[in-house]
Amino acid sequence: MAKEKVILAYSGGLDTSIIIPWLQENYDYEVIAVAADVGQGEELEPLNEKAIRTGASKIYIEDLREEFVTDFIYPTMKAGAVYEGKYLLGTSIARPLIAKRLVEIAEKEGAVAICHGCTGKGNDQVRFELTIKALAPHLKIIAPWRIWDIKSREEEIEYAQARGIDVPVTKKRPYSMDRNLWHLSHEGADLEDPWNAPKDELYMICTPPEKAPDTPTYVEIEFEKGVPVKIDGKALSPLEIMDKLNALGAANGIGIDDIVENRLVGMKSRGVYETPGGTILYAAHKELEYLTLDRATQHYKETMAVRYAELVYDGCWYTPLREAMAAFVDSTQETVTGTVRLKLYKGNCVPAGCKSPYSLYSEEFATFGEDEVYNQKDSEGFINLFGLPLKVRALMMENLKGNK
């Protein structure tokens, strides 16, 4: 009788390497590993041999980079979603994509369960599992860190050595990191004390701002319906746009954020993020919205962006509310077309020009000089009506005082 199958979210690191034999020993499953390429910059090909050697029956290595940009990064950017004013949601938007692919492969393989290596302290366990529940509620979810007896990295190494599993036992860097083509996050080690400033050697993408070039770099980004399509007049693919902006931003010290954030699981954590291209895109997109959105829509969208960011951070990508918000955002983007010029200089991303065929800015109306279109006398009636509730209340208060 064939064994039941489990799909494992696989990275080839210590955790997922020992999870393969652990699943076999505790569930007698056939383990199928899935490694997702979301632009982490690592060479994934060696994972083929490593997964099989460790006990997996097969491995899928999935290139999800373009889907990551078009279906997850762009919708979040168009929404203007920023978690707690700083975090551009780099890890948060990658997890639902990876989990979706795990579900697709589970369906293809006829698997009964999906397994992940997230710890019980982090947000990622929620993001993976909410996606699985939304897309395949019949699948069992296995989270070893919540149920096995292993309590530390040292015990993991002992477990691996006892089974002849070759895993790295040292780390060149003491930080917990997550990298994709949108960002790189750093947590742990000396960063656990919020009083400690990040060291220059922490940064693996961005040049420290004080070491960036002494002359500014200018970049022009053209958007169509809220989506970037050209850099400096040249049409590029989504991946090419990210590569270009990441390089420009990193060279100029753009995109470093240090935040003590509120995790969904109840604790605060301190993270340092490098998001060079993302920071540029957010800044450019916002400038174009200033020019093309009316006041009511712009203000409401800014309010909604806070909730949108919370949903994404909390792993609620495949929910009716997030999808409804995305539909609203897409509607607002119909006129967000045009070109934005930015000046990049030592960590700063400064607007340097914006134009759009849908611009709502009218120099004729806004000018401080003489004009033929605006009757300044009209403002008196407007102010009288706008201020009428205040006037009525003030009269009431005066009457009360007079009757005492």
Annotated binding site: 9-17, 36, 87, 92, 117, 119, 123-124, 127, 176, 185, 261, 273
Please confirm, yes or no, whether 232 is among the known catalytic residues. no
Q: How many CB atoms are located within 10 Å of the residue 174 CB?
A: 10
The number of residues making up the chain comes to 404
Annotated binding site for L-citrulline: 87, 92, 123, 127, 176, 185, 261, 273
Give me the torsion for CA of 280, 285, 288, 289, rounded to 10°: -140
- Containing 114, the helix (H) or strand (E) segment is strand 113-115
d(CA 157, CA 159): 5
Q: What are the residues facing 342 on neighbouring strands?
A: 219, 351
DSSP string, 46-110: THHHHHHHHT-SEEEEEE-HHHHIIIIIHHHHHHT--BTTTB--HHHHHHHHHHHHHHHHHHHHT
Put the strands of the sheet holding 30-37 in their side by side order.
58-63, 30-37, 5-9, 113-115, 140-142
One of 37, 57, 176, 371 is an active-site residue; which one? 176
Q: Which residues are annotated as a binding site for L-aspartate?
A: 119, 123-124
Distance CA 266, CA 328 (A): 30
Select which of 124, 178, 179, 356 is catalytic: 124
Q: Is 63 a catalytic residue?
A: no
The reply to whether 15 belongs to the active site is yes
Q: Which of 95, 101, 179, 322 is catalytic?
A: 95
Task: Provide the annotated active-site residues.
Answer: 15, 95, 124, 176
